């Protein structure tokens, strides 16, 4: 920030010197370690100035602890006459001449101007890092060889957009500023933004030559259609000086509408906020550059940051006061005076607390439930204890109670019947001496059943299970339960013999594991895999499901797992040799006692031969249908084409012949002759365009069109197109403009097909003007990543969503009627899309009825 001179009458030299000594006695020595690098911070203003303090804080975040920092305040905001300047030089010279500093950090323009005069005298060749320099330019740093830093510049345009975003109904913007050097420079900048501001606001008023009292009166009369932007107001028209606190506080207090600011030191005194210069970020950036110099880089090698590190900052209390929705604030906005929120400031701690509370609540519920269940269990155990022996004797399985030494303790009556041993004989014997069944396995190496031989030699086919018996936390033995399943096994074996001789594949799959429990030998014929392969490698089921059928099969599998099945369906499978086969799948579900599906049993029949016959028949029918449709379409297109071309050629030919006859008349005046010649010329041009479209569409349809690549100056091309169409647009009262992306360097040539590019742009512009009765037609272009993007936007009749694809068809116009009254062959957009695609690009359209249309195409360029 530049100084605000405070002209005061000097008293005596002795008095000034004494005053300076008192002020500079507050210079802060942040480090006394002589072994560390030395850095001097030379501030233009005084220590109590908020802006200066924030710069110091930003510098310290980067340099604290790694260097010896010394701060010198020049205090030029409150006094800066010639006597003071001389004393200031003497003081800094005598105080710092003897020190050798590795870097000097200067803040604001006065300190930089001081070094321009006395740098070599006091500090010799010490590198300089600057910050807070208003609207810096290369000329400001010509006297220095080793200098870098960060510029300070307010962004007026962003604040205009911000105000309109937060207060959409604001019509008038009042800009408050004074006539100090910094404010004057910004006021000059405002003229460059006036036109942009008029896009957002109906009126922009600048109040700069005014007293504080009068300003407060005017601010108190503003209504809700106003917004205020405070630039700087340190001195009013009566030459009265106001500190940043007082000026911001009084202006905000008297204003009936939000007051936006450009510097963060004006925030916190009743102002709302804005996109503002941040002293802390200025200091932080300067500190980062200083650290790089201390690490060995030269200042001249560190690029100057010309773009000021500004931020969006707001006063939460003022946002609430003026009822501005926080959701309207830009991203990464900073808030002051915001009520403390644990969720916002430390979300991790917040969720940790919530998690602990939930865990404790759940644990409490579980403990209560467990206690209730424990009481119920004790009561139930007491009742069941007396009935346990009776229950063992009525269950439909043989039960053997075994201790830890594998000796039999008890047996029920069914165990006695199947083993042939009485309970008295068996008690105390090893279980293997009484009950030693032999496992019988299936082809997939799973136990199918056990073969038990009783004491008298009788064989039984049984199933068995063993379960440990626990007493408190210790095992006291285990219980063996077994059932006679001889009849079941015999029935399964009979069914197996039938299945093995069947040509269809019979299977049983376990749900939800998806493993085969049974596969008939027909799997080898249909799938190419043996039953053993499918048993040992369940994952093979994925290999004979083709990729295009996996989604369908997966959906069917989910239905099966949920207990839903459609019965019969057809699909393709891939056998071991990779051949696709059509199969018919018929399935049923097997449920457990609770009604849950536990297995799927089904039959798979090879229907490939049947499908081949069906496919040949379907293809024959499709071929006949397609031939019929092509013939009808060809006949319709031919009729439409001939009718349209006859109309389009007849219209200009009638104009040429008719007005040529009029020219032959002896009574024709020179003015009429000129008029007739113009009509003949326009009709000839229209005829030429029709022929051009016919040649282009013929070449496209035959594939004979070729690209002719050449260097093209895109700006010259677009200006030529504008010169051609601007008189036509003006005759309709339409504004035709050419725009380019201001953030991109587009003043260069591109390498592409000039004819196709020129034709495509002209067709889009011609259509935009043709279907626009008022408003504007805007052509915008930008080059990014070797791609040219051109858009043509109008305010015309628009195109419905249903018609947006059809307009690229031949002989169709925007209203989807074949060649309406608007002149043209209806080939323009079809040719344009083909040309863009030939050039490697694509065309898009955005529109709706009554809202205009925007056509955009992208093509690669070099």
Least confident range from 9-13, 83-87, 642-646: namely 9-13
Q: Flag whether pLDDT at 471 surpasses 80.
A: no
How many CA atoms within 13 Å lie on the side-chain side of 210?
18
For residue 139, the model assigns a pLDDT of 83
The confidence score (pLDDT) of residue 746 equals 52
pTM of the model: 0.39
pLDDT at 472 > cutoff 80: no
For residue 631, the model assigns a pLDDT of 64
pLDDT score of 817 = 44
Q: CB 460: neighbour CB atoms within 10 A?
A: 20
Helix axes 244-254, 212-220, angle to 10 degrees: 30
The answer on pLDDT for 108 being more than 80 is yes
Beta bridge partners of 69: 39
Least confident among 120-134, 480-494, 654-668, 763-777 = 654-668
Under the banding of pLDDT at 50, 70 and 90, the label for residue 31 is very low
Lowest mean pLDDT: which of 55-64, 181-190, 313-322, 531-540?
A: 181-190
Q: How many CB atoms within 10 Å of residue 37? A: 19
> 2-16, 171-185, 484-498, 664-678 — which is least confidently predicted?
2-16
Higher model confidence: residue 190 or residue 723?
A: 723
* Dist CA 247 CA 780 (whole Å): 45
CB within 8 A of 625, min separation 6: which ones?
none
Q: Tell me, what's the pLDDT at 5?
A: 36
pLDDT tens per residue, range 797-850? 998 888 877 787 765 555 544 434 455 566 778 888 888 888 889 999 999 888
Range name among 160-169, 188-197, 831-840 with the lowest pLDDT average: 188-197
Categorise residue 371: left if φ over 0, alpha if ψ from -120 to 50, beta otherwise. Answer: alpha
- At 298, the pLDDT band (50, 70, 90 cuts) reads very high
Question: Predicted confidence band at 18 (pLDDT cuts at 50, 70, 90)?
Answer: very low
Which has more confidence, 683 or 354?
A: 354
Q: What's the pLDDT at 377?
A: 83
Asked if pLDDT for residue 12 goes beyond 50, the answer is no
Residue 185 in this model has a pLDDT that exceeds 80: no
Q: Is the pLDDT of residue 191 over 80?
A: no
The pLDDT value recorded for residue 6 is: 39
Phi, psi of 239 (to 5 degrees): 65, 30
Q: Which of 224, 262, 222, 230 is nearest to 248 (CA)?
A: 230
pLDDT of residue 167: 92
Is the pLDDT at 748 greater than 80? The verdict is no
- Beta strand 103-107 with 38-43 is parallel
pLDDT category of residue 509 using cuts at 50, 70 and 90: confident
Positions of E strands within 668-772: 709-713, 734-740, 749-753
Say if residue 196's pLDDT is above 70: no
pLDDT value of position 600: 82
Confidence of residue 16 (pLDDT cuts 50, 70, 90): very low
Residues 140/133, Cβ–Cβ less than 8 Å: yes
**What secondary structure letter does DSSP report for 444?**
T
Residue with tokens 């694509």: 842
Query: What's the pLDDT at 72?
Result: 93
Which helix H or strand E contains 165, and what residues bound it?
helix 156-166
pLDDT tens per residue across span 596-623: 888 888 888 888 888 888 878 888 788 7
**b/e 132-147 (16+ beta carbons within 10 angstroms → b):** bbbbbeeebbeebebb
**pLDDT band, residue 55 (cuts 50/70/90):** very high
Burial class (CB in 10 A: 0-12, 13-18, 19+), 27: middle
Q: How confident is the model at residue 1 (pLDDT cuts 50, 70, 90)?
A: very low
d(CA 89, CA 95): 10
Instruction: With a cut of 80, say whether residue 95 has pLDDT above it.
Output: yes
Task: Pick 408 or 444 by higher pLDDT.
Answer: 408
pLDDT, position 819: 39
Pick from 133-147, 518-532, 617-631, 780-794 the range whose average pLDDT is largest.
780-794
3-class DSSP assignment, residue 58 = helix
Q: Is the pLDDT of residue 253 over 90?
A: yes
Query: Tell me, what's the pLDDT at 642?
Result: 64
User: What are the pLDDT digits (tens) for 349-398?
Assistant: 878 888 889 999 998 898 899 888 888 887 777 666 566 767 777 777 88
**pLDDT above 70: residue 723:** yes
**pLDDT value at residue 816:** 40
Q: Which residues pair with 410 in a beta bridge?
A: 401
Position 117 pLDDT exceeds 50: yes
User: At 187, is the pLDDT very low, low, confident or very high (cuts 50, 70, 90)?
Assistant: confident
On the question of pLDDT at 686 being above 70, the answer is: no
Selected residue with higher pLDDT from 853 and 577 = 853
Give pLDDT, residue 308: 87
Mention every residue, 6+ apart, whose C-beta is less than 8 A from residue 628: none
Residue 737 or residue 192, greater confidence: 737
Residue 21, pLDDT above cutoff 80: no
- Pair of tokens at residue 800: 């419905």
pLDDT of residue 228: 94
Q: Which helix (H) or strand (E) holds 843?
A: strand 842-847
DSSP summary character for residue 141: G
Q: In what order do the strands lie in the sheet with 853-860?
A: 734-740, 775-784, 787-794, 853-860, 842-847
Band (28; pLDDT cuts 50, 70, 90): very low
What would the 3-class secondary structure string for 299-368 be?
Answer: HHHCCCECCCCCEEEEEHHHHHHCCCCHHHCCCCCEEECCCCCHHHHCHHHHHHHHHHHHHHHHHHHHHH
- 194 pLDDT band (50/70/90 cuts)? low
């Amino acid at each position: 920030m530049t100084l605000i001179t405070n002209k005061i009458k000097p008293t005596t030299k002795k008095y000034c010197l004494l005053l300076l000594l008192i002020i500079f006695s507050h210079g802060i020595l942040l480090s006394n370690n002589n072994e560390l690098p030395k850095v001097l911070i030379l501030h233009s203003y005084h220590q109590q100035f908020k802006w200066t303090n924030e710069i110091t804080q930003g510098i310290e975040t980067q340099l604290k602890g790694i260097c010896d920092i010394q701060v010198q305040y020049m205090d030029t905001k409150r006094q800066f006459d010639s006597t003071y300047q001389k004393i200031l030089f003497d003081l800094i010279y005598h105080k710092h001449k003897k020190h050798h500093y590795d870097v000097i950090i200067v803040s604001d323009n006065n300190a930089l101007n001081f070094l321009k005069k006395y740098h070599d005298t006091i500090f010799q060749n010490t590198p300089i890092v600057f910050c807070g320099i208003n609207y810096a330019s290369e000329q400001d740093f010509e006297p220095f060889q080793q200098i870098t830093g960060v510029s300070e510049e307010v962004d007026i345009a962003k604040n205009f957009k911000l105000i309109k975003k937060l207060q959409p109904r604001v019509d008038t913007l009042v800009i408050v500023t004074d006539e100090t050097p910094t404010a004057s420079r910004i006021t000059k900048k405002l003229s460059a933004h006036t036109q942009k501001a008029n896009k957002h606001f109906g009126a922009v008023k600048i109040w700069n030559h005014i007293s504080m009292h009068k300003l407060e009166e005017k601010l108190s009369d503003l209504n809700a259609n106003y917004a205020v932007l405070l630039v700087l107001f340190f001195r009013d028209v009566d030459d009265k000086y106001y500190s940043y606190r007082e000026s911001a506080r009084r202006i905000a207090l008297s204003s009936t509408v939000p007051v936006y600011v450009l510097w963060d030191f004006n925030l916190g005194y009743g102002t709302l906020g804005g996109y503002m210069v941040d002293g802390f970020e200025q200091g932080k950036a300067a500190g980062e550059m200083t650290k790089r110099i201390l690490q060995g880089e030269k200042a001249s090698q560190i690029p100057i940051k010309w773009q000021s590190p500004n931020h969006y900052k707001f006063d939460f209390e003022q946002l609430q006061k003026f009822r501005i929705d926080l959701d309207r604030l830009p991203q990464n906005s900073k808030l002051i005076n915001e009520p403390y929120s644990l969720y916002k400031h430390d979300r991790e701690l917040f969720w940790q607390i919530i998690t602990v509370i939930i865990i404790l609540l759940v644990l409490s519920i579980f403990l209560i439930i467990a206690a209730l269940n424990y009481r119920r269990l004790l009561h139930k155990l007491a009742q069941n204890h007396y009935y346990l022996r009776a229950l063992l004797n009525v269950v439909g399985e043989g039960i053997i109670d075994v201790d830890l030494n594998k000796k039999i303790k008890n047996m029920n009556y069914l165990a006695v019947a199947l083993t042939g041993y009485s309970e008295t004989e068996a008690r105390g014997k090893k279980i293997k001496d009484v009950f030693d069944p032999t496992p019988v396995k299936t082809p997939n190496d799973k136990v199918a059943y056990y073969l038990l031989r009783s004491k008298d030699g009788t064989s039984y086919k049984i199933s068995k299970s063993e379960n440990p018996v626990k007493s408190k936390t210790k095992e006291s033995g285990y219980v063996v339960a077994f059932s006679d399943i001889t009849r079941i096994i015999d029935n399964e074996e009979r069914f197996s013999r039938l299945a093995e001789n069947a040509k269809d594949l019979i299977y049983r799959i376990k749900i939800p594991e998806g493993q085969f429990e049974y596969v008939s030998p027909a799997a080898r014929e249909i799938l190419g895999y043996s039953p053993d392969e499918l048993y040992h490698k369940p994952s093979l089921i994925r290999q004979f499901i083709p990729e295009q059928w996996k989604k369908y099969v997966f959906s069917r599998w989910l239905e099966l797992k949920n207990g839903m099945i459609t019965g019969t369906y057809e699909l393709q499978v891939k056998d071991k040799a990779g051949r696709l086969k059509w199969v018919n799948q018929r399935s049923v579900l097997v449920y457990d006692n609770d009604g849950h599906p536990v297995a799927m049993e089904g039959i798979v029949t090879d229907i490939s031969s049947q499908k081949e016959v069906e496919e040949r028949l379907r293809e024959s029918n499709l071929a006949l249908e397609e031939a019929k449709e092509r013939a009808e379409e060809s006949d319709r297109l031919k009729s439409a084409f001939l009718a349209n071309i006859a109309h389009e050629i007849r219209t200009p030919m009638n104009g040429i012949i008719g007005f040529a006859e009029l020219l032959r008349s002896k009574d024709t005046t020179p003015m009429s002759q000129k008029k007739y010649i113009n009509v003949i010329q326009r009709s000839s041009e229209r005829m030429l365009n029709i022929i051009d479209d016919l040649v282009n569409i013929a070449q496209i349809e035959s594939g004979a069109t070729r690209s002719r690549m050449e260097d093209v100056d895109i700006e010259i091309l677009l200006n030529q197109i504008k010169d051609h169409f601007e008189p036509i647009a003006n005759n309709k009262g339409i504004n035709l403009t050419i725009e380019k992306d201001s953030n991109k360097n587009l003043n260069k040539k591109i390498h592409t097909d000039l004819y196709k590019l020129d034709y495509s742009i002209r067709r889009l512009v011609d259509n935009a003007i043709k279907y626009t009765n008022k408003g504007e037609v805007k052509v915008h272009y930008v080059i990014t990543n070797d791609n040219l993007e051109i858009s043509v936007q109008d305010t015309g009749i628009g195109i419905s969503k249903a018609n947006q694809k059809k307009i690229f068809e031949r002989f169709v116009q925007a209203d989807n009627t074949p060649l309406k009254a608007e002149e043209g062959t209806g080939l323009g957009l079809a040719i344009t899309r083909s040309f863009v695609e030939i050039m490697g690009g694509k065309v898009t359209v955005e529109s709706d009825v009554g809202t205009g249309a925007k056509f955009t195409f992208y093509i690669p360029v070099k």
